[in-house]
Copies of this chain bind each other. A is one copy, B any other.
């Protein structure tokens, strides 16, 4: 049986630009939602709308039987789940934990194992779709863990996303997200080099897009980020610093599997240069600046 508004007391940890919208959709779906985030004022708006503030992960854990997390980096995930004051040490057995942070697949597998020992069901469920996807409840959610657990949590995922796919055992959600980021990474070099070439050759980039974006060179990045580049708009969207985090996880994970990923490695190297030149807080389209 699925979780319902009667059977679930929901916790949400990590009220950033993504988490805020996602938690609100759960509230709008009729769930009682307890919230915790490191910087309390980020949760103020949600609390004014009826979310219940908790002072710590452990107090939230004690009150909730379904907890979603979307925090920053893998060490944050590790602390929230496996720390002394973390979820697994402080939740009742029989509960559910769902990490929606983009994080390490091997950490997701480790959390799954530790959760199981505590009688808790864990899913890894990173998302794509960005702040707009979160706001409009149109996220793509890629889920790893046990299929029965996925089925139980599905009604809650459906409040947050549209394209919700069970990908396999623990870690499979994170691995799928890595596939997503890997496809984007090298693709961004293609988009930026193509536009830089157009400018250098004296072409009008807008007219070039008319010729190329609907054919074999077409991509989400070309249609959505190239127009921003042309307008000198380097605002995030998706932060360079977060993309570097994701690429680093993907590279470490590929290395661990003895998979060569030269395109991904080159892309990370270029993005690290973007960051070194002050672009960490820019959108990923800022890669273009390296070429000019």
Contact = CB atoms under 8 A, between A and B. Distances in A.
Interface of A: 105, 128-130, 140, 142, 163, 165-168, 171-172, 175-176, 178-191, 193-198, 200-204, 207-208, 210-212, 214-222, 224, 238, 250, 253-254, 257, 259-264, 266-267, 270, 291
B259 A197 contact: yes
Contact of A263 (B128, B180, B189): B189
Nearest to A219: B219
Contacts of A201: 105, 171-172, 175, 178-179, 253, 257
Nearest to A237: B216
A250 B179 CA distance: 28
Chain A interface secondary structure, helix, strand, loop or mixed? helix
For this chain, the copies found in one complex come to: 2
B175 A217 contact: no
A129 B188 CA distance: 22
B259 A219 contact: no
B254 A165 contact: no
Given A183-B217, A211-B176, A267 B259 contact: no
Contacts of A203: 167-168, 172, 175-176, 179
B202 A165 contact: no
Considering residues A197, A218, A253, A264, which has the most beta carbons from chain B within 10 angstroms of its beta carbon?
A197
A215 B220 contact: yes
Contact of A186 (B130, B214, B263, B291): B263
Contact of A175 (B182, B197, B218, B261): B197
B208 A179 contact: yes
B175 A183 contact: no
Contacts of A197: 175, 178-179, 182, 250, 253-254, 257, 259, 261
A186 B198 CA distance: 16
Nearest to A266: B266
A25 B222 CA distance: 31
Contacts of A253: 197, 201
Contacts of A191: 183
